[in-house]
Chain A
């Protein structure tokens, strides 16, 4: 057993982080928020060229030939950067929908009564496509949403990659909260010197690191119970992490300008993408009876 990132995995994660910081930094994020619904096709093709979508395709099929752990690390970085677009659906379409692997074709998918980026995508996958889709005024300015009258779920790999995005978002929220707590002064000292604030931050880290172990383990095993576990813990870490980050920032946290609301709103969208949490809980309950004690 060696349940730690390999040197190659550390390098891959660093490479994706560096590329996203360069191509989708704070200014690009703000610009994207001001132009809701517009997908940056140039960036999408760059992601394709960098292998983001073809990561798990065999090299013989023109892919990068890596596995689920590497895909999870890449999606963690996407979540951290709040990278918009139907990333999971396009990644899953690589090798099945022409142009998806290279980023020429933007693919979205119907799942759990919703479809993301319908207008911005070239192809809609899923039972019945987007027949009867009704637009929502999406709570997340960076995820256009339609309601669709089908209850079809999403594949387990999509649930796992979504959990990886949640993990990245949770990590980022914790970092933002800690940065702020170190520098913001009240009563003559940094607010991070107050135990009430320290304990909020400590719990953010506990939730994030527990979720990290669960998400990475699910990437290694691809076991359905491990994926369900990863999903429940990552959802919790992302949603509560964004909430606590907002709280640590006080009035600033409640503004449109500060990025934490984007983390919270996207985290909410992702919890629905993966289907009802109660379903994952029921599956994990049933699993308790599956093996003899």
Chain B
């Protein structure tokens, strides 16, 4: 067991720090959260500079440890996160890389890496959330096209995406996991209607996407027809790897800022509050160690994230909500002011125990797949 960089890792870290020191001051000002075209341009611009500097493929072309170092250093330096590139870099891209034909890889991967194209995800449906295999969006074969009808929900960046990784039902009579296919749908195809959804934090972070007889070329199917469930599981396992590295680093910084604020406004004198922050410090220190543990495990296991991801996500999503509840305790009545720091974060954090598998579903996964308990009901 060790926690020190190898010479190779040390060199990678040092070079990255140097580059960040030069690249970050040259960044344009951050666009407002409601400015979607601005956000798209900003996020793509950042990916483009990463590409030019040789970091374009870091999310899935490098080893888990290098990815950990990349995410740790960029977050520490205050660099932008993937933003609108999230689905392209962390879902669709890895799926195409693993399951696509050479032509498909050639068509879709370079624009993702260069920061030219944005992807969104059409998986969840109004009646298929945690139970994703219940999805009903139909794709009927018509010559060289699929004709797709149905609706998708919780689709982030749908307004500005070029492509959608879409799960559709191609065989309604097959057992539900065996009648699904994975398609790359161009977002400018006729028949697509995007309706933004406002979150409880007040901003439009995702959308509903209605599909009415949308034609998608059969050539845009990745993997075999009706094999989309397996293809999708490849994608989902990427999400549970190093996806939260930057966020844990950000939480540890937020906690330090919170302590400074408490000291400034006098709340620090309350031993109950102090101990609450002390316990949160332990919590996030441990979560950082668990991240390092899981990354080393993935590294030794050939880059495939292990089941430890569910354990991490359960603990982390809860801890992050606790962090912002503690922030509200520090702020007192000012925690009701949306213009104060951490207040919007507190609202956003309510999604963490829901998104990418609710905590309840995660506990089922831990119980059945890790502990080997019988299938629940």
Contact = CB atoms under 8 A, between A and B. Distances in A.
Interface of A: 1-6, 9, 69, 174, 178, 181-182, 189-190, 192-195, 197-199, 201-203, 205-206, 209-214, 216-217, 219-221, 225-226, 228-229, 232-233, 278, 280-289, 291, 293
A282 B1 contact: no
A127 B182 CA distance: 70
Contacts of A225: 281, 285
B353 to A, nearest CB: 13
Interface string B259-291: 110010000000100110111011101110110
Nearest to A177: B371
Nearest to A194: B376
Contacts of B6: 1
B372 interface: yes
Interface string B1-21: 111111001000000000000
A229 B252 CA distance: 14
B165 to A, nearest CB: 30
B257 A2 contact: no
B302 interface: no
B278 A216 contact: no
A57 B282 CA distance: 30
B263 A229 contact: no
Nearest to B363: A202
B1 A219 contact: yes
A155 B234 CA distance: 48
B1 A69 contact: yes
A178 to B, nearest CB: 5
B256 A195 contact: no
Nearest to B252: A288
17 contacts: A1-B6, A2-B1, A192-B373, A193-B375, A197-B373, A209-B290, A210-B290, A213-B286, A213-B292, A220-B2, A225-B285, A229-B285, A229-B286, A280-B282, A284-B279, A286-B278, A288-B278
Contact of A178 (B65, B299, B362, B373): B373
Contact of A214 (B68, B286, B297): B286
B356 interface: no
B308 interface: yes
A3 B278 contact: no
- What is the predominant secondary structure among interface residues of chain B facing chain A? helix
B274 A282 contact: yes
B256 A291 contact: yes
Interface in B231-256: 253, 255-256
A193 B374 contact: yes
B292 A1 contact: yes
B289 to A, nearest CB: 4
B373 A182 contact: yes
B9 A202 contact: no
Given A217-B292, A289-B263, A293-B256, 6 more contacts: A4-B300, A198-B376, A199-B367, A203-B314, A214-B290, A284-B279
Nearest to A231: B282
B348 interface: no
B311 interface: yes
User: 7 nearest interchain CB pairs?
Assistant: A285-B278, A198-B367, A281-B278, A288-B259, A284-B278, A192-B373, A281-B275
A210 B275 contact: no
A285 B326 CA distance: 13
A287 B374 contact: no
A293 B260 contact: yes
A292 to B, nearest CB: 8
Q: Which has the most chain A C-beta neighbours within 10 Å: B68, B253, B297, B314?
A: B314
Contact of A206 (B257, B277, B311, B364): B311
